[in-house]
Every structure is written in C-alpha cells, then in structure tokens.
Amino acid sequence: MRTFYLICGLVAVGLGLVGIVLPLLPTTPFLLLALWCFSRSSLRMQAWLVGNRLFGRYIRDYQNGKGIPRRVKVYILVLLWGSLTACGVWLVPYVWARLLFFAVGVGVTTHVVRIKTKERA
C-alpha cells in the first residue's frame, strides 16, 4: 500500500503543478491530496512538500487554519477567471463546455472566498 500511496502522491503533485497553468485543474486540492498520500507512504516526501519553497508555506498555513493572504486570493481569482474566459471565448466552441467552465469557476471561487483571509504578519 505504501507504494500505491507514493505513486498517487506523485501523480497528485504532477497534476497540481499542471494546475498552476491550466485553469480547470485546481492546484491546492491536488497538493493536499499529495500531502495526505505522502503522510501514509513517505515522511521524506511529506517533508519535501511541506518545506517546498514555492507552495510549502501556503500548504502549512492552510493546514494550520491560518488562511491565505488577500493578495493571493485576488491573484487566484483573476488568473482563474481570466483563463476560463479566454478558453471559453477563443478555444471552446461548445456551449456545454463553456457552462462546465463557468460551473468550475463558481465552485473554485466559492471555495477560495470561504477560506479564511490571513492577516498580515
């Protein structure tokens, strides 16, 4: 089972990294899934993920219930809606896909807005 969790964690990290640039893949849930998988398979990989300089601080703050900074929330939402709009207007000819993009956007926006806003340190 450890090998299975390790592989799932690595796949989740990969999907999370792809999600940084693709609007339909949410980064945070995949990284949290990876953290969960690594906690059951490899303490070394868990420590690497939590200590990562790119997103480790955000994972720790999310885990500890400290929230995320307002500027990060704004960045997430601007990038999300900009990407979804661009894809919906220029790349996707199907109405059902545009509606799916909109539904994903609403879901992610709702989640981001509901996360506690971290006050300045």
Q: Under a CB-based contact definition with an 8 Å cutoff, are residues 50 and 60 in contact?
A: yes
- Model confidence over 30-57: pLDDT tens digits? 888 899 999 999 999 999 999 999 888 8
What contacts 37, CB < 8 A, 6 or more positions away? 5, 6, 8, 9, 12
CB 101 within 8 A of CB 88: yes
> pTM score, two decimals?
0.64
Q: What's the mean pLDDT in 64-86?
A: 84
Q: Could you give the percent of the chain with pLDDT greater than 90?
A: 37
CA atoms within 13 A on the CB side of 96: 0
